[in-house]
Structure 1
């Protein structure tokens, strides 16, 4: 699986040690930044995305324990490996107290550092996923209510496409559950243990949406004070859900098409190519064929996304699901607010069945 290049920050006041680790980490395929003390490292992290810190203990200005402490006080749970020639039980305890991923004594075997780096980066990836509200990713099938024949067909389609790498286009009116279907596809797929990343193309201006999708480097535009990864890199190995794709700027659609075709991207302000392995699921409440005629959707992008289509019916076309849905929400909110739910009166059911539900399920 292609992965975006990860960055390791080496912090040591000894130039020779920094150089040794730089060579080793570069050979492992990582991008390496260097700092001569803890304060310089903190300054670098203001302008660069860092995945791992390897730090010495004894340094001028700000030592390794001080660096660890400041990171944790800032709420930064970045993995940190401590390497030192002056190890004691006390310093080891302090390092672990502030959440060091590993504590390595010098002189060391290169293999031990290599293994520690790989462990720490794996751990850091898990932490990032937890920060991204992983419980939402696992919502999956639990969000569905409805046993109508048309919904059974939707469930079958989800199961069919989930096991593949195919791009999916979900069509349906607002409130029909397009994101719910996208999450279910992800949850039932081999990518379920990676991130599901969602972005609403209609809610973000075009100039901002581009940087949200592809990320940017420091100085790419006014206000870009540090490097930032985009949604594509965040979803590497997982699924990216592009809601309301027909509302995306027409020129930006061309850039999206190129990323889908080449499976790599360039952040704004950079000419460095970053490979990404992302499954894209898109959705729209418009008729895509009409959107193409209205020049709201590029035809070539449509064919790239529309490898598999899921068309969600409005609630008025699956009326047998109205009462089960109403009872589900009544029960859910009754428990949430501490009320007793005694059921639904027959005349209330008749009113619900007679209503056209223009907003569907929202």
Structure 2
């Protein structure tokens, strides 16, 4: 897959030189636009997506330096190459201090211009990626672990759909590893050399999510002190993963639908259309059709996203993978499981899936220290007799959650009961946190805190 074609604006008051730049840029494979002066250039940049500006230094009305200063106030990351004469090195250095990406001396060869453009675009891309990684709080991707039949089927499906551009809808319970599936899809695709950008629609406040996705211009709203690159633009050429899509405000879903249909995006407060080549992968822990019926997901958006659906199996349906996953998680801590502890893990139903397993093993490794993990290092509702676990009725919670022998910890027993009640409430409410909090008679904020505490988010 080729990278999206870059649009480059050539600014020069001499028609012959401007025409020469346009022809040179097109020959180099770029989309070329031109402007005869700085004012015209500013208008073009404000009206449409420009990836780089090549400008002459001396122009009537607004010089190349003045154009650079004006652009930096609105588009601080826009790459800018200054064209100067041999005796103007000091001015060229001043341009670099003002934020120019590079300068080239007139007269120049086409190859010199191409090298300067490639360098400026590459540096800009690296800066965008660094900015993203600094902001990103996504966990390190470890890949898909498991040899069970459901996982083999999922991996085969990923291999089949990875080369395509079609949108993918990933459905699975909380903690099954939907983001890892999306990353595996990206890594198996022709887009693997471009960015994989993940957005958790449930974790970002509704009034900020639109700006996060689409970006904003400086001054677009109170507090917008500088231009922001949205996640769609950042993922251009790569993959954008929209987790918990059913938690996105319904009014924002309509704008998302339009972006998916037209493959263009406009920043908040701007009127420039940015062409997109992004593969969108969405995910939810709900039943998508039930979410449509409840008004949580637009029906037209659902069908637009659900071109290909991937079902991620819950851990209870891939029991033979528990040992592989446990070995992987404990290897990071040099921990070991006793046979009795291993048996406890295999008999548990894992309502919190892989994320719960990782969280519990991390806790067990801390409690065991340098010793082998024993059943008493596991939560009380796991280190118990076979056949109980989260499928037990609430009437048996007081007895089934009793700590095993030699573990008389009231806090650990309390945690076990809390975890089980939370999981039962979420299951009864089909993952709806607001309804689950009401059933549990706690605030929604308290529920989110406990989900974080127990590694169930």
For the superposition of Structure 1 and Structure 2, which TM-score range results when normalised by the shorter chain? 0.7 to 0.9
* Match of residue 118 from structure 1: 117
- Alignment of 1:65 with 2:102, yes or no, is no
Whole-Å Cα distance in 1 between the matches of residues 227 and 10 of structure 2? Answer: 14
Q: 1:9 to 1:360 in 2, by over 3 A?
A: farther
Deviation at 1:333, TM superposition (A): 2.0
Q: Partner of 2:74: helix, strand, or coil?
A: coil
Deviation at 1:355, TM superposition (A): 2.4
TM-score, structure 1 as length reference: 0.76
Deviation at 1:197, TM superposition (A): 0.9
- Alignment of 1:294 with 2:302, yes or no, is no
Q: Partner of 2:329: helix, strand, or coil?
A: helix
Whole-Å Cα distance in 2 between the matches of residues 146 and 311 of structure 1? Answer: 15
* Match of residue 103 from structure 2: 82
Of the candidates 20, 29, 32, which is equivalent to residue 28 of structure 1?
32
The CA RMSD over aligned residues, in Å, is: 3.4
Q: Partner of 1:309: helix, strand, or coil?
A: strand
Q: 1:23 to 1:213 in 2, by over 3 A?
A: farther
Q: 1:108 to 1:254 in 2, by over 3 A?
A: same
Q: Partner of 2:304: helix, strand, or coil?
A: helix
* Match of residue 345 from structure 1: 338
* Match of residue 259 from structure 1: 259
Whole-Å Cα distance in 1 between the matches of residues 19 and 176 of structure 2? Answer: 52
Q: Partner of 2:353: helix, strand, or coil?
A: coil
Q: 1:309 to 1:120 in 2, by over 3 A?
A: same
Where relative contact order (Cα < 8 A, 6+ residues apart) is larger, the structure is: 1
* Match of residue 165 from structure 1: 165
Q: Partner of 1:361: helix, strand, or coil?
A: helix
Contact 1:4-1:236 at 8 Å conserved across structures? no
Q: CA offsets, 1:87-141, max 9 Å, x none?
A: xxxxxxxxxxxxxxxxxx33334x245413432244225524652449x99x77x
* Match of residue 250 from structure 1: 250
Moved more, 47-56 or 200-209: 47-56
Of the candidates 354, 358, 362, which is equivalent to residue 361 of structure 1?
354
Deviation at 1:207, TM superposition (A): 2.3
Q: Partner of 1:50: helix, strand, or coil?
A: coil
Whole-Å Cα distance in 2 between the matches of residues 308 and 65 of structure 1? Answer: 53
Deviation at 1:273, TM superposition (A): 2.0
Q: Unpaired segments of 5 or more residues in structure 2?
A: 26-30, 34-49, 56-61, 356-457
* Match of residue 215 from structure 1: 215
Contact 1:4-1:275 at 8 Å conserved across structures? no
Q: 1:2 to 1:68 in 2, by over 3 A?
A: closer
Contact 1:8-1:51 at 8 Å conserved across structures? no
Q: Partner of 1:316: helix, strand, or coil?
A: helix
Deviation at 1:208, TM superposition (A): 1.3
Whole-Å Cα distance in 2 between the matches of residues 250 and 116 of structure 1? Answer: 46
Whole-Å Cα distance in 1 between the matches of residues 20 and 351 of structure 2? Answer: 62
Whole-Å Cα distance in 1 between the matches of residues 202 and 189 of structure 2? Answer: 27
Contact 2:197-2:240 at 8 Å conserved across structures? yes
Whole-Å Cα distance in 2 between the matches of residues 270 and 22 of structure 1? Answer: 29
Deviation at 1:203, TM superposition (A): 1.1
* Match of residue 224 from structure 2: 224
TM-score, structure 2 as length reference: 0.61
Moved more, 221-230 or 149-158: 221-230
Q: Partner of 1:300: helix, strand, or coil?
A: helix
Deviation at 1:256, TM superposition (A): 0.5
Contact 1:2-1:275 at 8 Å conserved across structures? no
Whole-Å Cα distance in 1 between the matches of residues 71 and 128 of structure 2? Answer: 24
